[in-house]
Amino acid sequence: MEKALQVEVKKATKSLKVPEEKLNELRGIGNRLISSMKKEYVDCPVVKQQVPFIVCYLCPSFIRRYKGVVYCKGEKGPY
């Protein structure tokens, strides 16, 4: 298994904009959890920019999130 990239999850002061189709994929998750996830972002190592955590979570390279750190394969980008 390849070494996974570790990226820290950071908190934003305001909610970040998330595409509607990404939110539709999260049906069944509570609104409170989604609203807290909208205020988190990561510095994506694949696209080299800040990405909302919800977009990162739905990315094919996402492995897991553990104690505020996202483990990423670093292969395909979220967009």
**Amino acid 79: pLDDT:** 75
Structural domain of residue 64, as residue ranges?
Answer: 5-72
Would 77 be classed as within a structural domain?
Answer: no
- How does pLDDT run across 36-78, given as a tens digit for each residue? 999 999 999 999 999 999 999 999 999 999 999 999 998 888 7
Residues in the chain: 79
Mean pLDDT of 3-13: 92
pTM for this one?
0.85
Would 37 be classed as within a structural domain?
Answer: yes
pLDDT band at 1 (very low <50, low <70, confident <90, very high): low
> How many domains does one find in the chain?
1
Would 30 be classed as within a structural domain?
Answer: yes
Do 8 and 40 form a contact (C-beta atoms < 8 A)? no
**Amino acid 2: pLDDT:** 66
Would 10 be classed as within a structural domain?
Answer: yes
Would 79 be classed as within a structural domain?
Answer: no
Buried b (16+ CB within 10 A) or exposed e, 4-27: ebebebeeeeeebebeeeeeeeee
